[in-house]
Amino acid sequence: MIFGLLLVVLAECSSAQSSTSRIGEARYQEVAASLTERHVVPRYESLAASALKFHEIVGPMCGAAPPRRLERTRMQFHNLFDRWAAVAHVQHGPVELLMRSFRIQFWPDKRGRAGRQIAELIRSRNIAALKPEHFARESVAIQGLTAAERLLFEEKYANALSSGSADDFPRKLLVAISNNLAEMSRALAADWSQGQGTFLSELRSPGSEHSRFASNREVVAAFVRGFYMSLQMMTDLKLDKLLGKTIDFSRPKRTESWRSGRSLRNIVANLSALQAMYEGSGGFGLRALLGSEQAVLEEHISKAFMKSLAKAQIIEFTLVQAVVDPLGREQVLSLARELRALKALVRNRFAPAIGAPLGFNALDGD
């Protein structure tokens, strides 16, 4: 078995070396620069703007016409989550620091930590814990979008938020969460901005003493790992876990963001973001690393994205409803098959073809 694994590793290394010599460092540099400046940076800037807007709306929630204010806050929550879903596939760099990724979205929450800890905090009415300097060190389960969703869409908390009471602790908790999200999003955008010592400066100078990357090929490989990991999360966690082996063994409440009814919306946003990274957002995408001799693979991946998005967009139910409805379940199973096919293409053919072996990650064997 060890010998077989060694052969696989050697084959991947050989393929990667061959692809590297074909592509060349200059081409990697073009793609890395385009992905950074045209794909990633604008998305983090959009996330920061949306998070700030969310915080500005949450603050005066107890003003006139509270129910209408709650609905407006929910709309901005969806806007913010859309922006996060559009950049969550970028899993390297500043988002890794200070556990920002988990603090922005704590999911999956298999043991219901967010629910328990929110209830405990509300019962304690510990105002001191909500101060920004303290809240950023609280449990990741109560700091971000997962906790905000519970407060905005669980009936008992939503009723409290729309009651108009200026002394309401759930509202104060939501203010702390929105402020925390705004600050993290602002910091992420800043870390990807221009200037010496920023992550952007590291990406632009691989091989220097100031960069963690030895080459532009390594920069591209980091993007590809996040690209694949996002596909793996969609197949393994966002679909397979809730589908179960049969309709009787489905677990609809294991799906992402089921309380706000946006589980499928998240998948469409994730897929659209990956498609843009592959095709290019007004510049070079990952597709540009494939040579003319790989035109068939290029087309297969493009078609796989289109088919997957089409399958997702024809589902008329929420995922919670679809997995327990015979017709809806067939549509979700069809989507899952398309996504697994796309994931296999990326892992087995695309990543080796561009010299970016994926290795292992936290989801392998989950």
The CATH number of the domain where 124 resides is what?
1.20.1420.20
Can you give the pLDDT at residue 113? 95
Q: Are residues 107 and 226 in the same domain?
A: no
Cα–Cα distance, 20 to 207 (Å, whole number):
16
- How many other C-beta atoms are found inside a 10 Å radius of the C-beta of residue 276? 19
Q: Are residues 41 and 186 in the same domain?
A: yes
Least confident of 19-23, 209-213, 309-313, 337-341: 19-23
Range of the domain at 139: 35-201
Can you give the pLDDT at residue 64? 46
Structure tokens at 111: 């043991």
Residue scoring higher pLDDT (20 or 152): 152
Per the document, the length of the chain is: 366
Q: Determine, yes or no, domain membership for 358.
A: no
Can you give the pLDDT at residue 164? 64
201, 230, 247 — which closes off a domain? 201
pLDDT digits (tens, 9 = 90+) for 62-106: 554 466 788 999 999 999 999 999 999 999 999 999 999 999 999
Q: Are residues 227 and 167 in the same domain?
A: no
Q: Are residues 184 and 53 in the same domain?
A: yes
Q: Are residues 264 and 322 in the same domain?
A: yes
Q: Are residues 322 and 221 in the same domain?
A: yes
Q: Determine, yes or no, domain membership for 22.
A: no
Which has the closest alpha carbon to 302: 283, 282, 274? 274
333, pLDDT greater than 50:
yes
29, pLDDT greater than 70:
yes
Q: Is 261 exposed, middle or buried (0-12, 13-18, 19+ CB in 10 A)?
A: middle
201, 224, 252 — which closes off a domain? 201
Q: Determine, yes or no, domain membership for 2.
A: no
pLDDT digits (tens, 9 = 90+) for 267-296: 999 999 999 999 998 899 999 999 999 999
Q: Are residues 226 and 112 in the same domain?
A: no
Q: End-to-end CA distance of the chain, in Å? A: 21
Q: Are residues 115 and 193 in the same domain?
A: yes
CA 294 to chain CA centroid, nearest Å: 29
Q: Are residues 270 and 331 in the same domain?
A: yes
Q: How many domains is the chain partitioned into structurally?
A: 2
Q: Determine, yes or no, domain membership for 27.
A: no
Beta-carbon contacts of residue 360 (< 8 Å; ≥ 6 apart): none
239 contacts 339 by C-beta, under 8 angstroms: yes
Q: Determine, yes or no, domain membership for 210.
A: no
357, pLDDT greater than 80:
yes
Angle at 214 between CA 213 and CA 217, to 5 degrees: 85
Q: Are residues 282 and 175 in the same domain?
A: no
284 contacts 348 by C-beta, under 8 angstroms: no
Averaged confidence pLDDT in the chain: 90
Cα–Cα distance, 11 to 160 (Å, whole number):
59
Q: Are residues 101 and 197 in the same domain?
A: yes
Structure tokens at 365: 């064997």
